[in-house]
Amino acid sequence: MQLYDRTTFESSRLIARNYSTSFFFSSNLLKKEDKEAIFAIYGFVRVADEIVDTFHQYNKQELLNEFEDQLKRAISQGISTNPVLHSFQLTIRRYNIPYSLIEAFMHSMRLDLEKTVYTSREETEEYVHGSANVVGLMCLKVFTNNNESEYNRLKMPAMKLGSAFQKVNFLRDLNADITGLNRIYFSNYDFERFDEQAKNALVKEIRDEFDEAYQGIRQLPGRSKLAVLTAYYYYMQLLKRIELTPPQQVMSARISVPNSMKFILLIKAMFVYKLKLI
């Protein structure tokens, strides 16, 4: 079983490496046990997200239901022949991740199958809570390693960080979401007349969430502080690039941070962490 367990965690690690260089680079800074668990969480949420976003020629609802049913059996039995679900259920058990967080996540994934336009701030925040906030809380469960008081103290900053990450992704992926998936997550914005004022209002909202999240990053234990700080620097750089990009270009192109800049930001995070400047 040890070989199988190790191999399933490697499978989730491979998914992270292939799908997100930012997440992969930052998570690799964690200690071994935490790194495995975070990759397991990423593997689970990435496969669910792929089902609703890219498996267009298949019955997405059926696949998503089957995926969750397999997870429930894996948790109940303590094993799964699906490598991603096996490593995730081990992580759930090891860090006592509440199933309510997973239910909230799956609810948002199902919204992606049912809903295209979010017409109120409440609807947007409901989606973001399930798609991002609770993922931040799953990761926080790993970082605090069953220390309930520390987890409760850092819950709000973790949710703010997840929300900020997700909203940066929304801005980065505006073109793909609107033209490819016919989705509009931000309410109260007319994207047919998306201008500098509208873009800057969204950037400010996200920056305010990052400011709140930063206070929590400062209090994270051990190497989790370094890993999350690195991801924070990546996303702040991406937000800055979006802020400096004309609105119509934001609407038509996917803004990104080059790997060379990510390496510089990694060095910056290590410098700040080593010198205890955070």
pLDDT at 192: 74
Which tokens sit at 32? Answer: 């071994």
CATH code of the domain covering residue 156: 1.10.600.10
How many other β-carbons are positioned within 10 Å of the β-carbon of residue 96?
11
The domain in which residue 117 lies consists of 2-274
In terms of DSSP H, where are the helices of 115-221?
A: 121-128, 134-144, 148-172, 174-175, 196-217
Mean pLDDT, the chain, integer: 95
Please tell me the total count of domains within the chain: 1
pTM to 2 decimal places: 0.95
Q: Whose CA is closest to 212, among 247, 249, 248, 162?
A: 162
* Residue range 7-55, pLDDT digits in tens: 999 999 999 999 999 999 999 999 999 999 999 999 999 999 999 999 9
Cα separation, 235 vs 238, in Å, equals: 5
How many other β-carbons are positioned within 10 Å of the β-carbon of residue 260?
8
Q: Give yes or no for a contact between 163 and 209, defined as CB atoms under 8 angstroms apart.
A: yes
Which tokens sit at 92? Answer: 């759930």
Which tokens sit at 24? Answer: 């992969």
pLDDT at 190: 73
